[in-house]
Amino acid sequence: MLSGIRNFFASLAGKVVFVFILLAFASGFWYFGGPTGGGEAAWAVRVGDQTIAAETVRADYERELGRLRAELGGQVDSAQARAMGLPGVVINRLVNQTLLDLATADLGLAASDDLVRDAIRRNPAFQGPDGRFDRAIYGQTLRFAGFSERQFEEMVRQEIARNQLLASLDAAVAVPDALLTPLFRHYHERRTATVVRVADQDVAGAAEPVSDKDLIAFHQANAERFTAPEYRSVTAIILGVDHLAPQMAVSEAEIRAAYEDRADEFFEPERRSLQQIVLADREAVDRALQRIRDGDDFLTVAEEEAGLTPDAVDLGTVTRRSLLPALSEAAFSVGAGEVADPVQSPIGWHLLKVTEVIEASTVPLADVRDEIAADLAADKARDALFDLSNRLQDTLGAGTSLEEAADRLDLPLVRVEAVDRQGQDRSGDPVDALPQEAVTEAFMLTPGDESLLREYGIEGYFIVRVDDVIEPALRPLDEVRDRVRDALMAERLADAAAERAEAIAAAVHSGRDLASVAADQGLEISTSPPFTRTGEGASDLPRDLIEALFAVDTGQAVVVRGTDATFIAEVRTVETVDPALAPERANAFRNELRFAFGNDLVAQYLDALRQRHPVAVNTEVMDRLF
């Protein structure tokens, strides 16, 4: 969180990133000074004598969720966002912003009108193609975001004041040489090691065979590993586009009309595969063209006249619109295998050769009929979804059961005998009939209770009832016999590998050479490249092994368990770096330390502000929001 705070506030005076104000912190103006539109009952978080409205928290959360979905291709639902801690991130950000606003008010920090005006005019988001402030773009952008100019300017004013405060904290951070030198040497120290890997499979013969008695004992001793999780038997009604779309009737006339409306989508314009030579002047391009017309190969001329490789010559397959107008006219004026007349552009003279012509075409209706029908059905399902959800809510509100409501509204009823918290059945397979939000909701209910009608995903609703709770129970041995056998065998192999590694280490501690001991046992020996404490340079070594090697002196051996193997390693060399001999690296490291110390200072300052302005969370409102 600290690094996130620091990144958020990294734009110090003179380089404020106002796009972030507009996009990420658009809620700031609304909550500063008290809740809006909802009265005392609407507050979600109280910071000192200020409150953050529930509407503000929800709006900021939805913005962050939308941003997250955009970054991850839409593959994040509300339940996943909650599991990732997104509500907490949003709340912490709003609280920290409010704390800084209170602090700037206490200190009398404020931005002048000139400073606000200058910051807005320098924001690239509000500039035209000429790089100058454009009032029309400014007004349009604010209207799109839902702000008046006065509101946005007040937000900018507050952000500048916060940055003034943080700039003063940043100025207090210093890293003297007396601190830099030992830390630089510590973090940049590099070591090499002799490494021997004892793989579990290498000691397969040393492991004892597994008997039924062994399986029974291991099954009982490790009951938690073979215990089935809590399951819930549920009944649900799921209203989603994918559930409703198959029920939507789509006529042939509608399909044909949609095909005509989307004609541009199914039309593939003429394309041409091109090769290109670019030369500096007309004389050079005329000489190259004459060689080509005399029969020289285009690629040979490109290499000899312009020093171009075949990859540099190849322009790929293009349409008219993907080229500059002058180049497009030339490229589409000749046939396949022909070279167009030279064309001049700002970068020089172009020779274009057409290697292939792909005629324009239209995808037949028959090829896209199913796609169009599915799209139309989905559109109809979206239109029907909201109305159907209201009808379902009204029906349930009259006291009917889920079964009766589903029957009256002709809705499919989902029954699941057993589902765990991860949305899996007894076999570990996903229960596709239930969205994860419905599963999460089911585990918050007691048997016989049903949820409210809730949203899931981007466009869906569900209501779920818990019919039974199946408590966690140890799975019978016969059901998990193979798993128990594999786990017991893996444990025995790991123990045998560790025992062998410890014996090798004992020999090394008694004075023998690690390489010779390993060679005697037929084990492979390797020497690592130099690596740092963070593992840079030795990505194939386990993290625990690297830490252990930095905790011992040269010539000492360590034993560390890895994945499917036990490692014995011995420190061979230790190399330290004097910051005076690496000034650029030392300066970069000093900046990293300033950044880290600045993080700590900001965190301490925010903690102090929390003591002065206590933070309280309205859990009832939060439960409704998330």
Q: Where are the beta strands (DSSP E) in 231-340?
A: 231-240, 267-268, 271-279, 314-318
DSSP 323: S
- Note the pLDDT of residue 383: 85
Beta-sheet pairing, 50-53 with 343-345: unpaired
Q: Tell whether the model's pLDDT for residue 251 goes beyond 90.
A: yes
Query: What CATH number was assigned to the domain covering residues 2-173+603-625?
Result: 1.10.4030.10
Task: Mark out the alpha helices in 460-582 (DSSP H runs).
Answer: 477-509, 514-520, 543-549
DSSP string, 175-234: --HHHHHHHHHHHH-EEEEEEEEEEGGGGGGGSPPP-HHHHHHHHHHTGGGGEEPPEEEE
> Which stretch of 14-18, 185-189, 326-330, 350-354 has the lowest confidence by average pLDDT?
14-18
Beta-sheet pairing, 473-474 with 314-318: unpaired
- Note the pLDDT of residue 206: 63
- Note the pLDDT of residue 583: 86
Give the confidence band of 426 by pLDDT, cuts at 50, 70, 90: very high
- Quote the CA–CA distance of 515 and 414 in Å, as a whole number: 64
Which tens digits make up the pLDDT trace of 50-93? 999 888 888 888 888 877 877 776 667 777 778 788 888 999 99
Let me know: does 125 contact 22? Beta carbons within 8 Å: yes
Let me know: does 360 contact 377? Beta carbons within 8 Å: no
DSSP string, 419-477: E-TTSB-TTS-B-TTS-HHHHHHHTTS-TT-BPPPEEETTTEEEEEEEEEEE--EEPPH
Q: Tell whether the model's pLDDT for residue 25 goes beyond 70.
A: no
Q: Averaged over 215-221, what is the pLDDT?
A: 94
Give the confidence band of 616 by pLDDT, cuts at 50, 70, 90: very high
Let me know: does 434 contact 236? Beta carbons within 8 Å: yes
Q: Tell whether the model's pLDDT for residue 7 goes beyond 70.
A: no
- Note the pLDDT of residue 472: 95
Q: Do domains 2-173+603-625 and 270-359 have the same CATH topology?
A: no
Query: How far, in whole angstroms, is CA 327 from its chain's centroid?
Result: 40
- Note the pLDDT of residue 356: 94
DSSP string, 16-51: --HHHHHHTSTTHHHHTTS--SS-GGGEEEEETTEE
User: From residue 469, how far is each of 341, 450, 465, 472, 551 by CA, in Å?
Assistant: 79, 13, 11, 9, 50
Average pLDDT taken over every residue of the chain: 86
Q: Tell whether the model's pLDDT for residue 8 goes beyond 70.
A: no
Per-domain boundaries in the chain: 2-173+603-625, 190-226+478-575, 230-250+367-471, 270-359
Torsion of CA 199, 202, 206, 207, to 10 degrees: 60
Tell me phi and psi for residue 428, to 5 degrees.
85, 5
- Note the pLDDT of residue 167: 84
Which tens digits make up the pLDDT trace of 544-602? 999 999 999 998 899 999 988 999 999 999 999 888 888 888 888 888 888 888 888 88
Q: Averaged over 391-417, what is the pLDDT?
A: 91
Let me know: does 23 contact 125? Beta carbons within 8 Å: no
Let me know: does 138 contact 120? Beta carbons within 8 Å: yes
Angle between helices 149-171 and 86-107 (to 10 degrees): 80
Q: Tell whether the model's pLDDT for residue 504 goes beyond 60.
A: yes
Q: Tell whether the model's pLDDT for residue 12 goes beyond 70.
A: no
Q: Tell whether the model's pLDDT for residue 313 goes beyond 70.
A: yes
- Quote the CA–CA distance of 322 and 315 in Å, as a whole number: 11
Q: Averaged over 606-612, what is the pLDDT?
A: 93
Put the strands of the sheet holding 615-617 in their side by side order. 50-53, 43-47, 615-617
Q: Averaged over 521-547, what is the pLDDT?
A: 91
Nearest partner of 160 among 213, 215, 133, 122, judged by Cα: 122
- Note the pLDDT of residue 449: 93
Let me know: does 582 contact 567? Beta carbons within 8 Å: no
Residue the block writes with tokens 């005509």:
260
Give the confidence band of 264 by pLDDT, cuts at 50, 70, 90: confident
Let me know: does 562 contact 540? Beta carbons within 8 Å: no
pLDDT top residue among 225 and 205 = 225
Chosen CATH of 270-359 out of 1.10.10.10, 3.40.50.10190, 3.10.50.40, 3.40.50.11810 = 3.10.50.40
- Quote the CA–CA distance of 213 and 219 in Å, as a whole number: 10
Is the sign of the CA dihedral 366, 371, 372, 373 positive or negative?
Answer: positive
Helix (H) / strand (E) containing 575: strand 565-575
Q: Tell whether the model's pLDDT for residue 46 goes beyond 80.
A: yes
- Note the pLDDT of residue 538: 84
- Quote the CA–CA distance of 238 and 407 in Å, as a whole number: 14
Helix (H) / strand (E) containing 300: helix 298-306
> Which stretch of 28-32, 83-87, 258-262, 296-300 has the lowest confidence by average pLDDT?
28-32
Question: Three-class SS of residue 418?
Answer: strand
Residue the block writes with tokens 């499979």:
201
Give the confidence band of 368 by pLDDT, cuts at 50, 70, 90: very high
Let me know: does 8 contact 93? Beta carbons within 8 Å: yes
- Side-chain half-sphere CA neighbours of 113 within 13 A: 1
Let me know: does 58 contact 66? Beta carbons within 8 Å: no
pTM of the full predicted structure?
0.51
> Which stretch of 40-44, 76-80, 183-187, 572-576 has the lowest confidence by average pLDDT?
40-44
Q: Averaged over 268-282, what is the pLDDT?
A: 92
Which CATH class, in words, describes the domain spanning 230-250+367-471? alpha beta
Give the confidence band of 26 by pLDDT, cuts at 50, 70, 90: very low
pLDDT top residue among 33 and 158 = 158
Question: Three-class SS of residue 236?
Answer: strand
